[in-house]
Amino acid sequence: DGGITQSPKYLFRKEGQNVTLSCEQNLNHDAMYWYRQDPGQGLRLIYYSQIVNDFQKGDIAEGYSVSREKKESFPLTVTSAQKNPTAFYLCASSLAANTGELFFGEGSRLTVL
């Protein structure tokens, strides 16, 4: 089945540690996105990528990093510089940036202890 897969679903980390969240899609989509969601809030854009080997900062990129070495993969690293990393992280993809339907993964819930 075509879709978008995020892993892990739940992740715990200690303060000061970097952690990488995986996002893979087999929809042959060019554009991929990372969002952060805090309790009771909407989704805020962290980074997005329109095409392989290209990505741009979203509204809240500080403390995060991404790479887009393959079309199907867009991993997000939450670095120790991110002051409040505990959140629900959502990855999405679309055929092209800002056009077409967005397909979301099931999310990764990160808790910093």
Partner 1 sequence: DAKTTQPNSMESNEEEPVHLPCNHSTISGTDYIHWYRQLPSQGPEYVIHGLTSNVNNRMASLAIAEDRKSSTLILHRATLRDAAVYYCILRSPLSSGSARQLTFGSGTQLTVLP
Binding site for partner 1 (CB under 8 A): 31, 33, 35, 40-45, 48, 50, 56, 58-59, 88, 90, 92, 96-107, 109
Detail the DSSP E strand segments found in the chain.
4-7, 10-13, 19-25, 31-37, 43-51, 54-57, 64-66, 76-78, 87-94, 103-104, 108-112
Q: To the nearest whole angstrom, how small is the minimum distance from the Cβ of residue 90 to partner 1?
A: 5
Q: To the nearest whole angstrom, how small is the minimum distance from the Cβ of residue 80 to partner 1?
A: 26
Q: To the nearest whole angstrom, how small is the minimum distance from the Cβ of residue 47 to partner 1?
A: 10
Nearer to partner 1, 82 or 93 (CB): 93
